[in-house]
């Protein structure tokens, strides 16, 4: 007798033998026992989950010589012929090979009126029914709706969405689920015992995992491993013969990523490559492993839900405790990008190594919410006795309640600015209303002291070439910069040391957008504690300067001991007064800036207040 593959040799012969489809076997069993039979059934689900097998078992229950039953005898001629696939009254039709209307008319419609040759029912089993053409479906509709009493249709498909709604509405639908890995493992264990195969449980679990929810696929993989290894099988034999990356290897990668161990990652990639694994497939398996970590991290501890063996859940739980959900999501998306890049890369191994090393850097990132919380806690600590820093004037009074602030921040590090008048885009994320300059990295987050201007005589104008600017930027903090002095528009009226000091202070505070806006002005004057800026026409630059009143007020208070007012003019005319809504908006903005926590956030994130809303 020729060899029979495991998938056929151990094909379920009764409802009790079916694995992982208890919801379907229970419904069909009750229907057979109570004689509540429908004329058309539609089975859908992924490959290898038992659709065609269930159709045969249902046909046995209908035509068993012992009567309609959910427990066919498996010994009578009807049961044996149906199991062998050569029953005259159970016709199995492959819709993929018989897609046309002529095939449906010849095989089904022309034979439907004929009584069964021997059995109780004539059963038509149509496999992959979604492959029928539109005209074939239309020819089947009327027959499917009102077939003779001795005819029952059983249709199976792996792509339910391709079956017309007119067909679906005439059938009882049963959806076959993917079989849990643990149940596949138990079934393979029974088969290994029957075949006298010596195999470790860890190796069997790898075979079950290779089935990906399909028992037939797992049985075919088991056949392949037996052919490779013989009657004694180890886990290494399974991974080598099937080209799988073991769960232990995937766990090692996940551990190396969270530990930021680049050398271990490179060595593991070397091992994966030397074993001949497909690198894109490996990336997909690692993505699936990250998905398992996320499910465990979210509190799901069922191996059946996750899709792994129960013994693997404990290992996943240990690793998941070292990740945050944000880390897992970031790693998953970066790995998905890496998998796409491997496809088109001439050096897929290098692409994989670089992608995995990138994951280690993603772990170092911190969310904006976490940064805000840390800054808020810091502000609270500074207000407590013994640790309070007060406001800019050293006051220890409590910070007033601020309106709700929505801010937009930039994560770029402090840049080395090119001086006053550089491109506005390089300053776009700077907070215009911040009262403090960016501190060097690692410095304590606190408000800076006002700059000192010793022996400054503001009554006499000073030639800018006689002194160096008192500011520094970027990594050159602590040096005195002479090359990047702020310049005014060519038509600006020289207004002495006051205007020069204000422009230098704007540069020191990295207010590039305000500086660029002033450069666009036709004329700039400073008199009577008022900065008068004239523009040729109403534009974004004029609005930018007009909205910076709070900034200039603070600068004037620090440098001149009097607040500096802003007077924006268009073509020499004083701008009209702003309406009440604008006044209220500016007042709310100023109130928000009085909150030390808000100012610290703007400082540390180099963000900008976009809008302020009152709390309800």
Q: DSSP readout, 294-336?
A: HHHHTT---HHHHTS-HHHHHHHHHHHTTS-HHHHHHHHHHHH
d(CA 5, CA 593): 76
- Say what the pLDDT of residue 409 is: 38
> Residue 403 pLDDT > 60, yes or no?
no
Same domain, 158 and 285: no
- Say what the pLDDT of residue 593 is: 81
Asked which of 155, 176, 197 is the last residue of a domain, the reply is 176
Top pLDDT among 439 and 267 is at: 267
- CA geometry: angle 453, 457, 458, nearest 5 deg: 95
| In-domain check, residue 110 | yes
d(CA 36, CA 167): 21
Report yes or no: 400 and 383 within 8 Å, Cβ to Cβ.
no
What is the percent of the chain with per-residue pLDDT over 90, rounded to a whole number? 14
Average pLDDT of the chain to the nearest whole number: 76
Same domain, 260 and 235: no
- Say what the pLDDT of residue 444 is: 39
Instruction: Provide mean pLDDT across the span 191-199.
Output: 88
Asked which of 212, 242, 272 is the last residue of a domain, the reply is 242
Same domain, 161 and 257: no
The range of the structural domain enclosing residue 201 comes to 181-242
Within 8 A by CB and 6+ apart from 227, the residues are none
Q: What is the CATH number of the domain that holds 158?
A: 3.40.50.300
pTM of the model: 0.55
Same domain, 122 and 159: yes
Report yes or no: 568 and 545 within 8 Å, Cβ to Cβ.
yes
Same domain, 234 and 304: no
Asked which of 201, 218, 242 is the last residue of a domain, the reply is 242
- What per-residue string of b and e applies to 14-53 under the rule 16 or more CB within 10 Å gives b? bbeebbbbeebbeebbebbeeeebebbbbbbbbebbbbbb
> Residue 185 pLDDT > 80, yes or no?
yes
d(CA 431, CA 601): 10
Report residue 157's pLDDT band, with 50, 70 and 90 as the boundaries: very high
Q: Which helix (H) or strand (E) holds 284?
A: helix 279-297
Same domain, 74 and 123: yes
| In-domain check, residue 356 | yes
Alpha helices in 164-277 (DSSP H): 165-168, 181-194, 201-210, 215-229, 235-242, 247-258, 262-274
| In-domain check, residue 441 | no
Angle between helices 201-210 and 235-242 (to 10 degrees): 20
pLDDT 10s digits, 117-145: 888 999 999 999 999 888 888 888 888 88
Instruction: Provide mean pLDDT across the span 354-358.
Output: 88
Residue among 428, 402, 382 at smallest CA distance from 598 = 402
> What are the CA-CA distances from residue 160 to residues 281, 482, 602 (Å)?
27, 74, 54
Q: Tokens representing 203?
A: 């190796």
Same domain, 23 and 141: yes
> Residue 304 pLDDT > 80, yes or no?
no
Top pLDDT among 243 and 138 is at: 138
Domain count for the chain: 3
| In-domain check, residue 389 | no
d(CA 564, CA 568): 13
Same domain, 230 and 275: no
pLDDT 10s digits, 366-394: 666 667 777 777 777 766 655 444 444 34
| In-domain check, residue 616 | no
Same domain, 19 and 160: yes
């Amino acid at each position: 007798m020729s060899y029979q593959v495991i998938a056929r040799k151990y094909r379920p012969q009764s409802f009790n033998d079916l694995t992982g489809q208890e919801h379907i076997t229970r419904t069909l069993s009750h229907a057979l026992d109570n004689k509540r039979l429908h004329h058309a059934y539609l089975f859908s689900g992924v490959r290898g989950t038992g659709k065609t097998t269930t159709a045969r078992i249902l046909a046995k229950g209908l035509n068993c010589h012992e009567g309609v039953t959910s427990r066919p005898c498996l010994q009578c001629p009807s049961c044996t012929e149906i199991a062998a696939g050569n029953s005259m009254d159970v016709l199995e039709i492959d819709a993929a090979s018989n897609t046309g209307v002529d095939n449906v008319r010849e095989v089904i419609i022309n034979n439907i009126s004929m009584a069964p040759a021997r059995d109780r029912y004539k059963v038509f089993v149509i496999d992959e029914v979604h492959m029928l053409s539109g005209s074939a479906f239309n020819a089947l509709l009327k027959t499917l709706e009102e077939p003779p009493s001795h005819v029952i249709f059983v249709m199976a498909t792996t792509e339910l969405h391709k079956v017309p709604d007119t067909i679906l509405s005439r059938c009882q639908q049963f959806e076959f689920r993917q079989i849990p890995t643990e149940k596949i493992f138990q079934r393979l264990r029974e088969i290994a015992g029957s075949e006298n195969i010596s195999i470790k449980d860890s190796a069997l679990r790898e075979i079950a995992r290779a089935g990906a929810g399909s028992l037939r696929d797992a049985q075919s993989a088991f056949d392949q491993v037996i052919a490779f290894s013989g009657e004694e099988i180890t886990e290494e034999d399974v991974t080598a013969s099937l080209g799988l990356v073991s769960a232990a290897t995937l766990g090692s990668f996940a551990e190396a990523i969270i530990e930021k161990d680049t050398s271990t990652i490179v060595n593991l990639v070397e091992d994966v490559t030397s074993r001949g694994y497909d690198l894109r497939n490996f990336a997909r398996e690692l993505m699936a492993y990250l998905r398992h970590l996320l499910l465990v991290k979210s509190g799901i501890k069922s191996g059946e839900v996750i899709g792994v063996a129960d013994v693997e859940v404990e290992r996943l739980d240990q690793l998941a405790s070292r990740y945050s959900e944000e880390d897992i999501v970031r790693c998953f998306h970066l790995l998905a990008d890496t998998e796409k890049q491997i496809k088109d890369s001439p050096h897929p191994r290098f692409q994989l190594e670089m992608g995995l090393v990138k994951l280690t850097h993603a772990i170092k990132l911190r969310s904006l919410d976490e940064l805000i919380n840390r800054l808020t806690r810091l502000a609270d600590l500074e207000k407590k006795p013994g640790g309070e820093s007060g406001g800019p004037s050293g006051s220890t009074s409590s910070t007033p309640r601020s309106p709700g602030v929505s801010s937009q921040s930039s994560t770029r590090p402090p840049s080395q600015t090119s001086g006053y008048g550089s491109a506005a885009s390089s300053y776009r994320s700077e907070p215009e209303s911040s009262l403090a300059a960016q501190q060097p990295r690692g410095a304590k987050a606190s408000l800076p002291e006002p700059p000192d201007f010793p022996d400054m005589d503001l009554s006499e104008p000073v030639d800018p070439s006689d002194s160096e600017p008192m500011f520094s930027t970027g990594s050159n903090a602590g040096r005195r910069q002479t090359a990047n002095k702020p310049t005014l528009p060519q038509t600006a009226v020289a207004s002495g040391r006051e205007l020069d000091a204000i422009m230098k202070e704007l540069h020191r505070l990295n207010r590039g957008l305000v500086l660029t806006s002033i450069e666009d002005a036709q004329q700039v004057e400073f008199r009577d504690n008022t900065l008068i800026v004239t523009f040729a026409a109403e534009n974004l630059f004029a609005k930018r300067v007009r909205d910076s009143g709070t900034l200039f007020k603070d600068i004037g208070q620090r440098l001149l001991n009097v607040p500096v007012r802003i007077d924006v003019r268009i073509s020499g005319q004083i701008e009209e007064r702003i309406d009440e809504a604008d006044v209220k908006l500016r007042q709310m903005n100023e109130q928000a800036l009085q909150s030390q926590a808000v100012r610290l956030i703007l400082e540390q994130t180099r963000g900008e207040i976009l809008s302020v809303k009152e709390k309800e």
